[in-house]
Structure 1
Amino acid sequence: MNLQHLRYFLTLADLEHYTDAAKSLHITQPTLSHAISMLEEEVQVPLFTKQGRNVILTEQGKEFYTTVQSSLAILDSGVQNLQRRYTNKPNIHLTLLRVLGRKAVPQLVRKFIEAYPETDAIFDFHNDSGMSHDMIEGLIHDKYDLAFCSRLDDYPTISYIPIFSQDLVLIVPKQHPLSKQETVTVEDTLIFPQVWFSKRSGVRPVIEQLYQSFTEKPQIAFEVSEDETVAGLVAQGFGLAIIPKFDFLSSIEDIEVIEIDELKDARIYYAAYRKDKSLSNDLKNFIDFITTSSMELGDIV
Structure 2
Amino acid sequence: MELLQLHYFLAVARLEHVTEAARSLHVTQSSLSKTIQRLEEDLGVPLFDRTGRKLRLNEFGNRFLQRAERALFELEQGQQELKDLSGPEHGTLELAVTTASRLPQILSIFRQKHPHLHFHVQMLTTDEMLVRLHRGEVDFCLSSPPVKSDEIHCETVYADPILVAVPHGHRLANRHSVPLSELKDEWFIGVKKGYATRDLVDARCRSVGFVPNYVYEGDEPARLSSLVEAGIGIGFIPGTAKNPRERISYLRVEDVQLVREIALLSHKNRYISRAAHDFREVVVEYFATLSLEDQHQT
TM-score range relative to shorter protein: 0.5 to 0.7
Alpha-carbon shift at residue 263 of structure 1 (Å): 8.3
Give, in whole Å, the separation in 1 of the partners of 2:284 and 2:210.
41
In the alignment, what sits opposite 1:125?
119
The separation in 2 between residues aligned to 1:251 and 1:292, in whole angstroms, is 27
After TM superposition, give the deviation of residue 299 of structure 1 in Å. 1.8
- Provide structure 2 residue ranges, at least 5 long, that are not aligned to the other structure: 1-78, 294-298
Look up the equivalent residue of 2:105 and give its one-letter code.
K
Q: Secondary structure at the match of 1:204?
A: helix
More deviation, 138-147/258-267 = 258-267
The amino acid that maps onto 1:195 is: I
2:271 is matched with: 279
Classify 1:248/1:291 alpha carbon distance in 2 versus 1 (closer, same or farther; 3 Å).
closer
- 8 A contact 1:95–1:125 mirrored in 2: no
What is the correspondence of 1:208-227 to structure 2 with a 5 Å cutoff?
A: 208-211=202-205, 213-227=207-221
What's 1:204 paired with? 198
Q: Displacement of 1:123 after TM fit?
A: 5.9
**Which stretches in structure 1 are left out of the alignment for 5+ residues?**
1-79, 114-121
The answer on whether the counterparts of 2:141 and 2:266 sit within 8 Å (CA) in structure 1 is yes
Deviations 1:214-254 (CA, angstroms, capped at 9, x unpaired): 2322222222232332122223333211102357633223x
- The SS at the match of 1:98 is coil
Q: How does 1:13-24 map to 2 (within 5 A)?
A: none
* Structure 2 equivalent of residue 164 of structure 1: 158
Give 3-state SS (helix, strand or coil) of 1:273's partner. Answer: strand
* Local SS of the residue matching 2:243: helix
CA distance, structure 2, for counterparts of residue 183 and residue 285 of structure 1? 39
Q: List aligned pairs for 1:32-111, cutoff 5 A.
A: 84=83, 89=88, 92-96=93-97, 97-104=99-106, 107=109
Q: 1:298 to 1:236 in 2, by over 3 A?
A: same
Identity %: 14
Match status 1:257 vs 2:263: no
Taking a change above 3 Å as real, the CA distance of residues 297 and 181 of structure 1, as seen in their structure-2 partners, is closer
8 Å CA contact retained: 2:158, 2:288: yes
Q: How many angstroms does 1:207 deviate by?
A: 2.6
Greater shift, 170-179 or 92-101, is seen at 92-101
Aligned residue in 2 for 1:137: 131
Give the greater-gyration-radius structure (CA). Answer: 2
Are 2:139 and 2:272, in contact at CA under 8 Å, matched by a contact in 1?
no
For 2:208, give the aligned amino acid.
Answer: F
1:266 pairs with 2:255: no
User: What is the alpha-carbon root mean square deviation over aligned residues?
Assistant: 4.4
Deviates more, 1:216-225 or 1:241-250: 241-250
Task: Go from structure 1 to structure 2 and tell me whether the alpha carbon gap of 1:149 and 1:105 turns closer, same or farther (over 3 Å shift).
Answer: farther
Matches of 1:161 and 1:200 in 2, distance apart?
Answer: 23
Counterpart position of 1:299: 290
Task: Tell whether the 8 Å contact from 1:138 to 1:144 is kept in structure 2 after alignment.
Answer: yes
Q: When the two structures are aligned, how many residues end up with a matched partner?
A: 209
Q: Distance in 2 between matches of 1:205 and 1:273?
A: 25
1:241 and 1:133, CA in 2 relative to 1: closer, same or farther beyond 3 A?
A: farther
Residue type of the alignment partner of 2:137? K
Q: Partner letter of residue 279 of structure 1?
A: Y
Amino acid at match of 2:103: G
Per-residue deviation, 1:147: 0.7
Helix, strand or coil: the match of 1:95?
A: strand
The 1:262–1:269 alpha-carbon spacing in structure 2 relative to 1, beyond 3 Å, is: farther
Is this contact kept in 2: 1:163–1:290, CA < 8 A? no
Contact 1:169 1:263 in 2 (8 A): no
Equivalent residues of 2:180, 2:208 under 8 A apart = no
Distance 1:291 1:251 in 2: 25
Task: Give, in angstroms, the shift of residue 280 of structure 1.
Answer: 4.2
Q: Which moved more, 1:203-212 or 1:215-224?
A: 203-212
Taking the aligned partners of 2:263 and 2:237, their CA distance within structure 1 comes to 18
